[in-house]
């Protein structure tokens, strides 16, 4: 396995924006940001009652579509329990923008009145529970409560930065670095354990890493053979965390 260094010093991203290697390694192909949703904590008791009166909870099975790209926006989607993906599609291909765990919004682009359509699709990875919040009621809360609005803006900014970093990695990181990113993301941010049963198929894992299924299968076997991970069907154990982290950082 060859580890390729991206650059020796600085990478130029645009006017007045420069990142050294230490900052560059913070970028990851992972689709899950560190931001925690705390906006509902900012609501008053009356506003929480208003929210409950203008929202419903729905259970979705694994693999069900939650919203469809191009559909009219009638609600804001909040994942109360489960795991889901937000993605773009063109009929044959899918580009995963974000993985959403418990207690997070699947996407907040629907809050804008300028674009009344979902710019993405969303699908459950596992059995999940969704809260649908009527979009005009959500906008009303944003108009009434500055702290609530600030939290929503922080979530949107955090999601945007995560996506920027993800596409930067797709451009500059080699395949091994991207797969290492995904493994660390699963262990550190989603399951928070070195051992986990992967709810994703190899095809879905390949979508996250921006590679073909065949490439991901071959690389997982190499990681397994070199003692970096241990695989048994869908079970994965991260064994050599530091080496995987090194591969992630160096690309």
Q: Encode pLDDT of 54-109 as tens digits.
A: 999 999 999 999 999 999 989 999 999 999 988 888 877 778 888 888 888 987 87
| DSSP string for residues in 136-186 | HHHHHHHHH-HHHHHHHHHHHHHHHHHHHHHHHHHHHS-HHHHHHHHHHHI
- Chain centroid to Cα 46, Å, comes to 32
Architecture of domain 39-166: Sandwich (2.60)
Angle at 185 between CA 243 and CA 102, to 5 degrees: 155
Q: Is the pTM value of this prediction over 0.85? A: no
| Length of the chain measured in residues | 251
Q: The tokens of 187 are what?
A: 């262990």
User: Residues 202, 217: contact at Cβ < 8 Å?
Assistant: yes
Would you call 246 helix, strand, or coil by DSSP? helix
CATH assignment of 173-250, among 1.10.10.10, 1.10.1740.10, 3.40.50.12170, 2.60.120.560: 1.10.10.10
Would you call 128 helix, strand, or coil by DSSP? strand
| 20 pLDDT more than 70 | no
Q: Tell me the domain boundaries of the chain.
A: 39-166, 173-250
Q: Encode pLDDT of 97-126 as tens digits.
A: 888 888 889 878 778 788 888 889 999 999
């Amino acid at each position: 396995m060859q580890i390729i260094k991206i650059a020796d010093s600085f990478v130029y991203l645009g006017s007045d924006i420069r990142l050294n290697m230490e900052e560059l390694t913070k970028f990851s192909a992972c689709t899950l940001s560190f931001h925690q949703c705390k906006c509902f904590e900012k609501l008053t008791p009356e506003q929480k009652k208003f929210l409950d009166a203008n929202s419903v909870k729905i259970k979705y099975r694994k693999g069900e579509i939650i919203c469809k790209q191009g559909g009219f926006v009638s609600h804001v989607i909040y994942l109360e329990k489960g795991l889901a993906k937000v993605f773009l599609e063109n009929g044959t291909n899918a580009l995963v923008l974000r993985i959403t765990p418990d207690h997070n919004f699947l996407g907040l682009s629907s809050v804008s009145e300028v674009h009344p359509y979902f710019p993405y699709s969303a699908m459950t990875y596992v059995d999940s529970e969704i809260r649908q919040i009527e979009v005009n009621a959500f906008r009303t809360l944003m108009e009434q409560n500055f702290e609530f609005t600030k939290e929503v803006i922080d979530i949107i900014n955090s999601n945007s930065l995560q996506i920027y970093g993800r596409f930067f990695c797709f451009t500059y990181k080699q395949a091994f670095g991207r797969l290492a990113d995904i493994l660390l993301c699963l262990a550190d941010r989603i399951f928070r354990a070195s051992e986990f049963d992967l709810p994703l198929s190899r095809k879905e894992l390949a979508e996250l890493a921006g590679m073909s299924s065949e490439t991901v299968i071959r690389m997982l076997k190499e990681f397994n053979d070199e003692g970096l991970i241990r695989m048994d069907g869908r079970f994965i154990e991260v064994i050599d965390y530091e080496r995987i982290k090194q591969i992630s950082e160096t690309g």
